[in-house]
Amino acid sequence: MSLPALLNHLKQSAALGQVAGLLSWDQETVMPKRGAEQRAEQSGTLAAVIHARDADPRIPDWIADIDRTSLTPFDRRNIDEAQRAYDRATKIPSRLAEESAKAASEGQRIWAAARAAKDFSQFAPALKRNIELKREEASCLADPGTDHYDALLDQFEPGAKAAELLPLLEELRPALVALREKIAGKPEPEPLAGHFPAADQLTLADTVAARLGYDFEAGRIDTVVHPFCSGSAGDVRITTRTDEADPLNCLYSTVHEVGHALYAQGAADPFLPAGDYCSMGVHESQSRFWENQIGRSRAFADWLYPAMDDAFGGLNLDGPDALYAAVNRVKTGFIRTEADEVHYNLHILLRFELERDMMAGNLEVDDLEETWNTRFARDFGLTVPDAGLGVLQDVHWSLGLFGYFPTYSLGNIYSACLDRAMLADLPDREAMVRAAETQPILDWLRDRIHAKGRVLPAPQMIEQATGEAPTATPLIDYLEAKFTALYDL
């Protein structure tokens, strides 16, 4: 009876994890301002309860007692994930966990002030503290003789190794730099311009979300400053934002979060770890696939142009071709979150390289800003004017999130792999996208990704889904083909 006991324990922990997710959603969307202090106490207490459950001393006994020979791969994975959470919860001393949580909370506050002042030196001490704590955490978790960075990466991308990611990600750089340089000499397409009322943008966002298969009976859309997706299975909530000068912000934020939400609504099992999402990289592959391969395709512009023309009572662009060019406008800029498909992964590569060097002790925090600026000039051909547009732009390091950035690029790589395989399987996909009748596309992803949960490690699952081990080639080919045609290179 050890397996049922373990699974029941995991199920209840997952339920409490969902409650923790709801507390965050509530905090970002509807919580009254003065509720913040109580919320911190509520979230902290719940986190401690979940931590104690992950570290429950019965877990190793249950696991030792289970005969693994006759188990399904699903349950074997549940056991492995229970062990992984147990190790994490027991190897990190509670003193360290508390200090890390405190340093993250303080780090974010200090970072926000430093960014507003565009002054890296204000943030440097907090960053040093976070790195110190994360190094200690990694040394608690890492097996002897392994790369300590992998212990951090593993939280977001289970089983991933930096040594394997590095060639995969670095392969992108020369291709992207070459593409960027070629496009730089070409005329810019006409941008979308005008005034786009927020209410109309939100109505369009609802329409697009519903067309792409987002189930409003298992979700809702609210408005926030930084959009996100939260929840699983029957309760998956997304958020978006509006800028009345730029309806593409709301539109593509929404499509991106819908991509995450479709994965979460299709969760194999919302209460067991083997039924959870496979990895952050795979999660991002789903959001980026719907955002870019579908949402920024020429075929979708055929549906989108009349929909937007209707939603806003006319557009300054004169047809789907012009809209397609506008939504794929390439322009070198400083900010990752505003980057187009050509530049986006160059931003990630920079961060991945820098955080690897910092964690390994090959780059000191005091040299970070200068190194950032030097490498930015190398990859982007631009001089960073201030830290706000440079090293201080992202929240991640202030929260102690090291090992997170590479999952964004993995997502782009995986989405291109899936795109290539899907096109071979669904030869009439373009017609589906043109009509925004995308159910077969969603079914394909449900079948090959969503229903698979976390049973296989991400690279194997992608290989099983596509017939090929994932490489950067499909992404490079996709970007070169798309932008060569768009910019007449």
Footprint of a copy of itself (CB under 8 A): 11-12, 15-16, 18-19, 22-23, 26, 30-39, 41-42, 44-46, 48-49, 215-220, 231-237, 270-271
Smallest gap from residue 239 Cβ to a copy of itself (A): 13
| Residues assigned a catalytic role | 257
Nearer to a copy of itself among residue 55 and residue 233 (C-beta): 233
Cα separation, 133 vs 106, whole angstroms: 13
Residue 174 burial class via C-beta count within 10 angstroms: exposed 0-12, middle 13-18, buried 19 and up: exposed
Q: How many CB atoms lie within 10 A of CB 189?
A: 19
In the complex with a copy of itself, the residue whose CB is nearer, 231 or 273, is 231
- Shortest distance in whole angstroms from residue 311 CB to a copy of itself: 23
What are the backbone dihedrals phi and psi of residue 240, each rounded to the nearest 5 degrees, phi first? -145, 180
- Among residues 472, 403, 438, 457, the alpha carbon closest in space to that of 152 is found at 403
Residue 304 · residue 323 · CB < 8 Å: yes
Q: Which is nearer to a copy of itself, 79 or 267 (CB)?
A: 267
CA pair distance 355, 363, nearest whole angstrom: 9
| Residue 19 vs 363, nearer CB to a copy of itself | 19
Report, in Å, the least distance between residue 238 CB and a copy of itself.
11
Query: Which residue, 46 or 168, has its beta carbon nearer to a copy of itself?
Result: 46
Dist CA 149 CA 147 (whole Å) = 5
Shortest Å distance, C-beta 43 to a copy of itself:
9
- Give the contacts of 81 (CB within 8 A, at least 6 positions apart): 10, 273, 274, 276, 454
Q: How far is the CB of 264 from a copy of itself (least distance, A)?
A: 12
Nearest approach in angstroms of CB 38 to a copy of itself is 5
For a copy of itself, give the closer residue by CB, 75 or 269: 269
Smallest distance, a copy of itself to C-beta of residue 51, A: 13
Give the shortest CB-59-to-a copy of itself separation in angstroms: 17
* Cβ proximity to a copy of itself, 271 vs 289, nearer residue: 271
Q: Which of 140, 130, 87, 91 is nearest to 108 (CA)?
A: 130
Of 221 and 465, CB closest to a copy of itself: 221
Closest CB to a copy of itself among 43 and 471?
A: 43
Smallest gap, in angstroms, from Cβ of residue 214 to a copy of itself?
A: 11
